[in-house]
Structure 1
Amino acid sequence: MATSEVTAALQTLGLTEWESRAYLALLEEAPATGYAIAKRAGIARAKIYEVLASLTARNIVQVSRGEPQKYGPLPPRELISRLRAQFNDNLDAAEDALTVYANAAESGGEIWDLQGRSAIIERANQLISVAKSRILAEIWAQDVPALHEQLIAAIARGVTVIVIGYGELELPGAVIHRHPGTDVVTSGLGGRWLVISVDDREIVAGNVSAGAHSRAAWTSHPGLVVPVTELVRHDLYKIEMLDRHADVLEASFGPGLQRLRDKYAPLAGQ
Structure 2
Amino acid sequence: MTAVDLTPFGFTPTESQVYQVLLEHGPGTGYAIARAANLARANAYSALAGLVAKGAAVGESGRPKRYRPEPPQVVVARLSSRQNAALDVLASSLEALAGPDSPSLVEIDSPRAAVRLISHDIARAEQSVTLMAPADAFPLLTPVLRQAVQAGRTTSLWSVGQAEALPFGEVSLVPKGYRWPGMPLISVVDDLTAVIAARQGGTVQGHWGQAPAFVAAARLSIERLGAGS
Fraction of identical pairs, as percent? 18
Q: Is the contact between residue 206 and residue 217 of structure 1 (CA under 8 Å) also seen in structure 2?
A: yes
Q: How many Å separate the matches in 2 of 1:94 and 1:126?
A: 12
What TM-score do the two structures reach when normalised by structure 2? 0.53
Letter matched to residue 166 of structure 2: L
TM alignment of 1:53-202, pairs within 5 A: 97-98=92-93, 100-101=95-96, 108-169=102-163, 170-181=165-176, 184-185=177-178, 188-202=179-193
Deviations 1:185-209 (A, max 9, x none): 3xx4342221010011110120234
Q: How many Å separate the matches in 1 of 2:206 and 2:100?
A: 16
- State the partner residue of 1:206: 197
Partner-residue secondary structure (3-state), 2:152? coil
Q: Which has the higher helix share?
A: 1
User: What stretches of structure 2 of length at least 5 have no aligned partner?
Assistant: 1-87
Q: How many Å separate the matches in 2 of 1:99 and 1:174?
A: 32
Q: How many Å separate the matches in 2 of 1:106 and 1:168?
A: 40
Q: Is the contact between residue 193 and residue 209 of structure 1 (CA under 8 Å) also seen in structure 2?
A: no
Q: Is the contact between residue 202 and residue 220 of structure 1 (CA under 8 Å) also seen in structure 2?
A: yes
1:227 aligns with 2:227: no
Letter matched to residue 218 of structure 1: W
Q: Which has the higher strand share?
A: 2
Partner-residue secondary structure (3-state), 1:208? strand
CA drift at 1:148: 1.2
CA 1:233/1:191 → structure 2, altered by over 3 Å: closer, same or farther? Answer: closer
CA drift at 1:111: 0.9
Q: How many Å separate the matches in 2 of 1:106 and 1:215?
A: 26
CA 1:202/1:151 → structure 2, altered by over 3 Å: closer, same or farther? Answer: same
CA 1:100/1:156 → structure 2, altered by over 3 Å: closer, same or farther? Answer: farther
Q: How many Å separate the matches in 2 of 1:174 and 1:138?
A: 14
Q: Is the contact between residue 104 and residue 211 of structure 2 (CA under 8 Å) also seen in structure 1?
A: yes
Structure of higher CA gyration radius: 1
User: What stretches of structure 1 of length at least 5 have no aligned partner?
Assistant: 1-92, 240-260, 262-270
CA 1:123/1:107 → structure 2, altered by over 3 Å: closer, same or farther? Answer: farther
CA drift at 1:139: 1.5
Q: How many Å separate the matches in 1 of 2:200 and 2:137?
A: 9
CA drift at 1:96: 7.0
Q: How many Å separate the matches in 2 of 1:210 and 1:134?
A: 29
What TM-score do the two structures reach when normalised by structure 1? 0.46
Q: How many Å separate the matches in 2 of 1:218 and 1:122?
A: 11
CA drift at 1:114: 1.4
